[in-house]
Structure 1
Amino acid sequence: MNVLPPDDQHPRTSGQKRLPHAVLDRDSRILKAKKIIAIVGQERFFQARRILEVGCGSGVISSTLSSLGSVDLEIDGVDIVDSRIEKSGYTFQLIGGTSLPFPDDYFDIVITNHVIEHVGDEVAQNQHLQEIGRVVSPSGIVYLAVPNKWRLIEPHYRLPLLSWLPRRFSDRYIRLTRRGSHYDCLPLSHSKARELFEASAFSSRDVTCEAMRRIIEIEHPSSFAQWVNRLTPNWALRMFLPVIPTFIFLLHPEK
């Protein structure tokens, strides 16, 4: 494995430490785990023997997947800091950058949920994807979610239009609003995400609209929203892609 430099040494983040942004709400993370299973596919999930969650944060997703999976399922979680509120059911390792401490072709499923925007500049994002491509098996799958660069409210700092701005202005915006010293995230546009996937030798399928339907089915199974969900055609949902807050993709390695 090539050991990559820590993320605070990449050009975009020189001298600026990556900050943790873990979601520590247990209930929302349990729901997220169930959504991931639904999107990846229950059959594939139950057949998996090894799953990796990159940026496991609270640890609740990894623990929930462990409790819902097969008896011989092995789950690994990695993160740059230990923010866990749940530590059972999986193995955890601290990492210092984008490199992953696992053999080639090791995992059946890799989950990178709202992580790629935190790893650094475009070079670091490519390295993040290349490392995932290295450790996922040729027949494996990657679940990747990333905030839309063009969403109106930036999700980590809750500031309007923050991710739209050039770096020098976003840093000033953060300081003026007393939210920190710098903007440490780099959300992606839909086209930029596709470009990165192609450069990292992944074929990709946008499952954002499918995920929206799954979310409603899981969170609001008997509501008016579910009735609307069933009646709304896919073409109507796709009209909202430019302003949807989060993009979700399934990636397949081209090995």
Structure 2
Amino acid sequence: MLDLPSRRWKALKIERLLDLSSRPQPIRMLEVGTGSGGIAQYFGTHPQLRCDVEAVDVHDNRLMTEGFRYQQVRDTQLPFADGTFDVVLTNHVIEHVGDANAQHRHLAEIRRVMKADGIGYLAVPNRWMLTEPHFQLKFLSWWPHAWRTPYLRVMRRGDIYDCEPLQMRQLERMLDAVGLGYRNICIEAWRATLEIEKAHTFGARVLRAMPDALLVPLRRIIPTLIYRLERR
């Protein structure tokens, strides 16, 4: 994701959802899959939070380079010792790392480098989202895996579909398997997104008035699955 304004909004949302201002500082932070570097720079140059930020990616697409250290990686293996980080961010990364085995390794590495009292932020597109965000094509991820690339080609939106969006229970089983505790924060994230980006819209006013009990049943179809992680 190379759109820098959206990265700043995303970073502010992460800051609020993880309540980072309440954590002891300095905060040792890792962003896996940094993309433009916008989120890493936001935290590395934050005027109030003192964050020591590392960032990794398999391709160097950085538009921002200040305030953090960067390393290029080849796969899901992270070049850091066990228990290094207070906070680990993986934002729309797991769908790109490969098959279920690669996704398992990605989550296991996050747990490995997280401190015993560390926390994490995980976001991934929901398989049951209406419009697939990478290709802006409706129902793309609803198809069986073998049908997605042909559908993409028929609709003339690309040559290969190399993402693996996840279902809520599927992701939670993976988190259980690697020993990561988790809390689904989709509703809090939904509210935070509207407050940050569209605070004065009709949709934001309606959402403010709705109790969580009415929104919980919608978690399975919210376009992005978002979790707060911790080590068990």
Same fold (TM over 0.5): yes
Structure 1 match to 2:68: 90
How far apart are 1:26 and its partner, in Å?
1.0
The runs of at least 4 aligned residues of structure 1 exceeding 6 Å deviation read none
Give the 5 Å matches for 1:103-142. 103-142=81-120
Structure 1 match to 2:191: 213
SS in 1 for 2:205: helix
Which ranges of structure 1 fall in alignment gaps of 5 or more residues? 1-22
Structure 1 match to 2:152: 174
Give the 5 Å matches for 1:160-171. 160-171=138-149
RMSD of aligned C-alpha atoms? 1.7
How far apart are 1:69 and its partner, in Å?
5.8
Amino acid at match of 1:213: R
Of 27, 30, 53, which residue of structure 2 is paired with 1:49?
Answer: 27
Counterparts of 1:172 and 1:37, CA distance in 2: 39
Inter-CA distance 170–71: structure 2 relative to 1 (3 Å threshold): closer
Aligned positions, number? 232
Higher strand share: 2
Amino acid at match of 1:42: L
SS in 1 for 2:55: strand
Inter-CA distance 117–45: structure 2 relative to 1 (3 Å threshold): farther
SS in 2 for 1:217: helix
- TM-score when normalising by structure 1: 0.86
- TM-score when normalising by structure 2: 0.94
Inter-CA distance 224–29: structure 2 relative to 1 (3 Å threshold): same
How far apart are 1:221 and its partner, in Å?
3.5
Counterparts of 1:197 and 1:171, CA distance in 2: 28
Identity of aligned residues (%): 41
Amino acid at match of 1:167: H
How far apart are 1:70 and its partner, in Å?
5.3
Give the 5 Å matches for 1:44-83. 44=22, 47-68=25-46, 72-83=50-61
Which ranges of structure 2 fall in alignment gaps of 5 or more residues? none
Inter-CA distance 45–115: structure 2 relative to 1 (3 Å threshold): farther
- Describe the superposition over 1:80-132 as per-residue Cα deviations: whole angstroms up to 9, x where unpaired: 10111111110111111000001110000000000011100000000000011
